[in-house]
Amino acid sequence: MARQSTLLGPRAERNRHAPATAPSPLGALRGPGGRNLRVAILSDFIRVPYANGAVFQTRFLYRQLRANGHEVALVAASDPAASGDELAPGTVALPSLPLRSYPGLRLPLPPAPWELRLREWDYDLVFAQSNSLLMLFGVWLREMNGTPLLCVNTTHLRAAYDVLLPPSLAKWELAHAAFRLALEPFERFYVSVYNASDGLVVLSEGLREYWRSRGVEVPIHVIPRAVQAEFFDPPCTDDPYPELLGPELSKGRGRRLICAGRHVREKAQDRVIRIFARHVMPNEPGATLTMVGEGPDTDYYKRLAGECGAEERVFFTGEVPFSEMPAWYTNADVLVHASLSETYGNVLGEALWCGCPVVAFADGMGASAQVLSGVNGLLFPAGETPAEMQEGDEAMGSALVGLLRDSQMRTRFRESGVRISRARTSPRAVEQRIASAFLDARERALRLGKAARKSSAARWLTTAKLFGPWWLLHLAISAAGCMRPATPRHGPVAHPKIWR
């Protein structure tokens, strides 16, 4: 029999219309004897190195659980750059390797054998907010202790591999074909991990269909990321644009486009710059494009703006503190988004929350789930061939000009975006979905029952079976990251800490 640590509390479906004064969904969850829960969060980030959707969701869950009295352990890769005050209480730092193609991200390695005393890893639930092989630690706890495991997937593998290809290889279709072929065993491996869990959390319906079609059989929960209300709810009065744009462009309040996010190739901000320079700027002379953020490709984007003749209309803010982002969204007219690799665009959710319409390419994943074309923004086919991509660029550029000239449409999109965002991505709405997924995972684990107590030899065999591939794959991924090393561009900008 599984150990009796049943979660007690209302199901999210029964409480979706509850008033704001209703008890917190996570606060209603209980462990054995009615005590508070012990939850382990497996995270790819031990701190907030820069504005990042996954780590902000980790922060949200950590803080909500702690605020409701639950005990939380954050198990993550050690980071030599982390200062002591950045580490949340209850942090467990694992050995790690760098990923040179993704500054700020480190790959965790398994804990040492003498640190694997099961009684010290006794949790009521493991939430694997990780796309790395750190998930296998959750599988290990599931097999050894019977601990319910919820995995989280935020990466569309077919769209994400491009980050590893250096520019010299990215232009060759053969290289892309080879990488796509190499992804197949990775996908099968991920499917096997997810099927060893008690549920999978994804960010969009498109990602649910993707993993279901590849053989994931456990329950799949679609849970968007919560907007951090403590930063985005206070009224925004300051307008940061005049200082950046200068008096000439600020005079008369020309139309403002914004593109926010880390400056890396998979975000496709270079496509946004080209669309602006070729299709918007010639037809809307007062328009500007503000690139909010920084990253390895910032210098390239600045050169590109100059090559396109748009250096006087494209502006770069550098990395912006998270607490200042609402002012940039609120005082912009439209957010432009061209990435096709997002399973959920945090910047899209934040912009819509602030009433900034979004124009993006339909990706079948994040943007397609967040933007209701004609309601809170506009979506366009991205195209696959060069000719189709050119058509997509022209269509987006023409629509941007039309939207910048149509204040009534912008107002309609703005009002719809605010209303839909608060219904779907408020902290309470997301918390309800997470609580429901917790309950489902617990119920499934109890139905399946706890595995029989293993002999010492069987425990070592299970550990080797799970931790051996973890070691090997993270060594291989770390080595592959050296194919396209990126220079860190994140300065000393203050971002919120995971624990406060």
Q: Which residues contact 316 (CB under 8 A, 6 or more apart)?
A: 290, 291, 294, 298, 301, 302
Residue 89 CA to residue 93 CA, distance in Å, equals: 12
CATH number (3.40.50.2000, 3.20.20.70, 3.50.50.60, 3.90.280.10) of 236-424 reads 3.40.50.2000
Domains of the chain, residue spans? 12-226+426-481, 236-424
Going from the first residue of the chain to its last (500 residues), give the mean pLDDT of each consecutive group of 10, the final group possibly shorter.
31 34 84 95 91 88 96 96 91 93 88 76 95 94 94 81 64 74 86 97 94 97 94 85 90 88 91 98 95 94 98 96 94 97 92 98 94 98 93 98 98 98 96 98 89 76 92 91 74 72
pLDDT for 164: 57
Query: Which two three-digit tokens encode residue 123?
Result: 């949790």
* Predicted local distance difference test score (pLDDT) of residue 19: 39
Which CA distances in Å does 250 have to 238, 286, 490? Answer: 14, 9, 28
Report the distance separating Cα 419 and Cα 480, nearest Å: 44
Q: What is the largest CA-CA distance in the chain?
A: 76
Q: Locate all alpha helices (DSSP H) within 264-336, ordered by sequence.
A: 269-275, 298-307, 325-330
- Alpha-carbon gap, residue 346 to 350, rounded angstroms: 6
Per-residue pLDDT at 7:
35
- For the domain spanning 12-226+426-481, the CATH number is 3.40.50.2000
Question: Three-state secondary structure along 78-139?
Answer: CCCCCCHHHCCCCEEEECEEECCCCCCCEEECCCCHHHCCHHHHCCCEEEEECCCCCHHHHH
**Domain 12-226+426-481 and domain 236-424 have a common topology:** yes
Q: What residues have CB less than 8 Å from 113, skipping those under 6 apart?
A: 463
Query: pTM, whole model, 2 decimals?
Result: 0.88
**Beta strands at 125-129 and 149-152: parallel, antiparallel or unpaired:** parallel
Q: Distance (Å, rounded) from C-alpha 63 to C-alpha 226?
A: 12
Quick one: how far is CA 189 from the chain centroid? Answer: 21
Q: Tell me which amino acid residue 333 is.
A: D
What's residue 2's pLDDT?
32
| E strands, 240-312, in order | 256-260, 288-292
